[in-house]
Amino acid sequence: MAAEDSKVFSLAGQGLKLDTRAEMEPHLERLRAMPDVEEVHLGGNTLGVEACRALAEVLESKKTLKVADLADIFTGRLISEIPLSLSALCDALSSHPSLHTIDLSDNAFGGRSAEPMVNLLAQNTAISVLKLNNNGLGPAGGEIVARALLASAEKSKAAGNRSNLQVVICGRNRLEDSAKVWAEAYAAHGTLREVTMQNDGIRMSAMLALFRGLAQCPDLELLDLQDNTLTEINDSGAIDLSGPRLVAKVLPQWSKLKVLNLSDCVLKPRGGVLLAGALAGGNNRQLQQLKLENSEVDPRTYGILAEAISLHLPGLTLLEINANKGDPEHESLQAIRVALAAHGNEDALGDARRLPPVLVRHPHRNGCQRPRHHRERDYKARTSARTRTCGVHRSSIVVRHTREGEGRPSAEERARRARRQARGDL
């Protein structure tokens, strides 16, 4: 056995169903014979209560352990079993001084299984990487875990030590408003480098709290909040842009940021402009990936992004803006392509053909949405307005296409159009 293999114990992906001590024993015999084991990988198997208790007894003595990969180990187990199994494993690891990575992803815990993790997360301040993806924690379970992390930060501070927590992955958990407690934990640690909280049902108020908390983490390198919500409609029917405004305010503080994913976060056109304007400030020169798919941004954002890329983002190698508003041949997108190519990153934008035509909504003078014909460009080929119901009123969205080789606007018209977009008239 190679020297490096003598430090890695793995049953990963073997599809084992281990219920009892006796069934677990042949594997534990091998683990006991590894005095300097540093990594344990058990994913892709299913362990019962007695098997977990037997495993925990051996793990408790392995103080050299650095990585505990316990993802996907409870498939097919009863919800009444999981807390008992999880409690045995987590308690066994709570005092390991070298444990820097714990992965409990893809286990269907639910909120009732959050409590067994508390002792480990609150007491073991050595943990640097925490992976809790797709556990179904819900708001209640999410708050329990976040408060455990908050207690960990307080314990490190009381001991006069800097927190070790750097990476948190906690997506697909329906955290909702419990994200506000996560924000407190992030601010208390102040050391986060990577945060992924995708598809957690986080609304704008909790997103505001998250950005305020993460503002206390100046070394942030990756932020992935895809499929949460940054804007909302207020009582008067207007779009509340508090989220994008705060993002624009905080973004310049993260000079080490490399990856930003706000796809599906409902930025809206003006929110996109605010975000792009912040990037144009030049404080995020290390940015490598920017993901804004399906965020309802439009060519005004693209134009500002083109300037930001040209002047301040030489290392941007991936830009995802599909499923937003705009023509793939729009001049602002062409400007982005030119800016990327100037840095040798001409493939960063990829295929922008998924962009739909520009959608132009026409408000009535009294503030309600009413149909009204609008002439956007001097196209020879026009389509009729499509009308759809919006609440108690009706609104029209005019979609204009240009046939191949027909009705192309002149250079003067395109320049006039660009000026009007910059002023926000369109």
Tens-digit pLDDT profile for residues 150-177? 999 999 999 999 999 999 999 999 999 9
Residues 256 and 279 in one domain: yes
Residues 354 and 235 in one domain: yes
Least confident of 58-62, 136-140, 216-220, 394-398: 394-398
- Residues whose CB falls within 8 Å of the CB of residue 133, separated by 6 or more in sequence, listed in order: 105, 106, 169, 170, 171, 172, 173, 196
Q: Are 320 and 293 in contact (CB under 8 A)?
A: yes
Residues 305 and 406 in one domain: no
Number of H helices, E strands in the chain: 12, 18
- Confidence at residue 287, expressed as pLDDT on a 0 to 100 scale: 98
Residues 263 and 236 in one domain: yes
- Confidence at residue 416, expressed as pLDDT on a 0 to 100 scale: 61
How many domains does the structure of the chain reveal?
Answer: 2
User: In terms of DSSP bridges, do strands 167-169 and 222-224 run parallel, antiparallel, or are they unpaired?
Assistant: unpaired
Residue whose structure tokens are 């390198």: 221
- Confidence at residue 122, expressed as pLDDT on a 0 to 100 scale: 98
Adjacent-strand bridge partners of 131: 103, 169
252 in a structural domain = yes
Residues 338 and 378 in one domain: no
Residues 325 and 385 in one domain: no
- Confidence at residue 424, expressed as pLDDT on a 0 to 100 scale: 56
What average pLDDT does the structure give for the chain? 87
- Confidence at residue 376, expressed as pLDDT on a 0 to 100 scale: 36
- Confidence at residue 393, expressed as pLDDT on a 0 to 100 scale: 32
Query: Among 215-219, 366-370, 406-410, which range has the highest average pLDDT?
Result: 215-219
Q: Are 284 and 254 in contact (CB under 8 A)?
A: yes
Q: Is the pLDDT of residue 178 over 50?
A: yes
- Residues whose CB falls within 8 Å of the CB of residue 2, separated by 6 or more in sequence, listed in order: none
120 in a structural domain = no
CATH code: domain of residue 339: 3.80.10.10
Other beta carbons within 10 Å of 208? 20
Adjacent-strand bridge partners of 382: none
Long-range contacts of 407-414 (CB under 8 A, 24+ apart): 407/377, 407/378, 407/379, 407/380, 407/381, 409/377, 409/378, 413/377, 413/378, 414/331
- Confidence at residue 326, expressed as pLDDT on a 0 to 100 scale: 87
Residues 325 and 410 in one domain: no
- Confidence at residue 202, expressed as pLDDT on a 0 to 100 scale: 98
Residues 338 and 369 in one domain: no
Dihedral sign computed on CA atoms, order 110, 112, 114, 117: negative
pLDDT-based confidence at residue 353 (cuts at 50, 70, 90): low
What percent of the chain has pLDDT above 90? Answer: 78
DSSP 363: B
Least confident of 1-10, 79-88, 113-122, 339-348: 1-10
Residues 352 and 248 in one domain: yes
Q: Is the pLDDT of residue 233 over 70?
A: yes
CA 63 to chain centre: 33
For residues 356-360, average pLDDT: 44
The Cα 351–Cα 328 span in angstroms is: 9
Asked which of 358, 373, 397 is the last residue of a domain, the reply is: 358
Domain coverage including residue 386: 362-423
35 in a structural domain = no
pLDDT-based confidence at residue 418 (cuts at 50, 70, 90): low
The Cα 22–Cα 10 span in angstroms is: 19
301 in a structural domain = yes
Residues 273 and 298 in one domain: yes
94 in a structural domain = no
Asked which of 323, 358, 393 is the last residue of a domain, the reply is: 358
pLDDT-based confidence at residue 328 (cuts at 50, 70, 90): confident
The Cα 185–Cα 223 span in angstroms is: 16
Q: Is the pLDDT of residue 406 over 70?
A: no
For residues 201-225, average pLDDT: 98
262 in a structural domain = yes
- Confidence at residue 258, expressed as pLDDT on a 0 to 100 scale: 98
Q: Is the pLDDT of residue 262 over 70?
A: yes
For residues 287-294, average pLDDT: 98
The Cα 59–Cα 149 span in angstroms is: 22
41 in a structural domain = no
Phi, psi of 425 (to 5 degrees): -75, -20
pLDDT-based confidence at residue 412 (cuts at 50, 70, 90): low
Phi, psi of 18 (to 5 degrees): -115, 110
What percent of the chain has pLDDT above 70? Answer: 81
Residues 276 and 348 in one domain: yes
Asked which of 324, 358, 392 is the last residue of a domain, the reply is: 358
Q: Are 83 and 115 in contact (CB under 8 A)?
A: yes
17 in a structural domain = no
- Confidence at residue 6, expressed as pLDDT on a 0 to 100 scale: 82
The Cα 204–Cα 268 span in angstroms is: 13
pLDDT-based confidence at residue 5 (cuts at 50, 70, 90): confident
Residues 327 and 385 in one domain: no
